[in-house]
Amino acid sequence: MSQSATLYLISNERFELLEDNPDKSKIQALSYGDETFEQTHEGVSFLLEKFFKGEDLTLIKEIFEPTEFIGEGLDDDLYESHTVDDIEKFEESAIYYLDPIQIARINVLLNSLNISIVLNAYNSAEFNNNGVYPEVWHDDESESKAFNKAHLKESLESLVHFFKAAATADDYVLVSVGY
């Protein structure tokens, strides 16, 4: 199994439909574009988090781990008052998203970066020592190899392009992370 993160573009109108009837099975049909980060989203996050502080860092973390969701919610005493089955059911039904204001701010932050400088912060040993999934990062940049600086460059460029499109459209982004 491999972990991936998929970001879906969804119009305001279609987001409202999903909000009225939250159903994860409808996401692909309602979205008009997506970008999948196969096994790289944690690496991308780890790199980006080195370049931001405070509110900007919090916002960067929201890219792949948004706090806002539609669907069933659980109270603040999640782990004390709910069973494991309740928590799993919540995770299955919750649809995490970024709103147009967050997207515009993320777009500005991503475009403030020089990707070459970000990539210079890549250190495969640091990634592996910090448990950055999939913990097999290396420095071999052969074209046929993954989990290296070249792989991260491709993902970073895709992320910047995706958020530029999302900000231009002034729409929502749905976030799905899983196996």
Map out the domains of the chain with their CATH numbers.
4-178 (3.40.1760.10)
CA atoms lying within 13 Å on the CB side of residue 91: 11
Give, in order, the Cα–Cα distances in Å from 36 to each of 46, 62, 81, 94, 111: 17, 16, 35, 19, 20
CA–CA gap between residue 96 and residue 14 (Å, rounded): 15
Local confidence pLDDT in tens for the 179 residues of the chain: 568 999 999 999 999 999 999 999 999 999 999 999 999 999 999 999 999 999 999 999 999 999 999 987 655 555 566 666 555 555 567 899 999 999 999 999 999 999 999 999 999 999 999 999 999 999 999 888 899 999 999 999 999 999 999 999 999 999 999 87
pTM over the 0.85 mark: yes
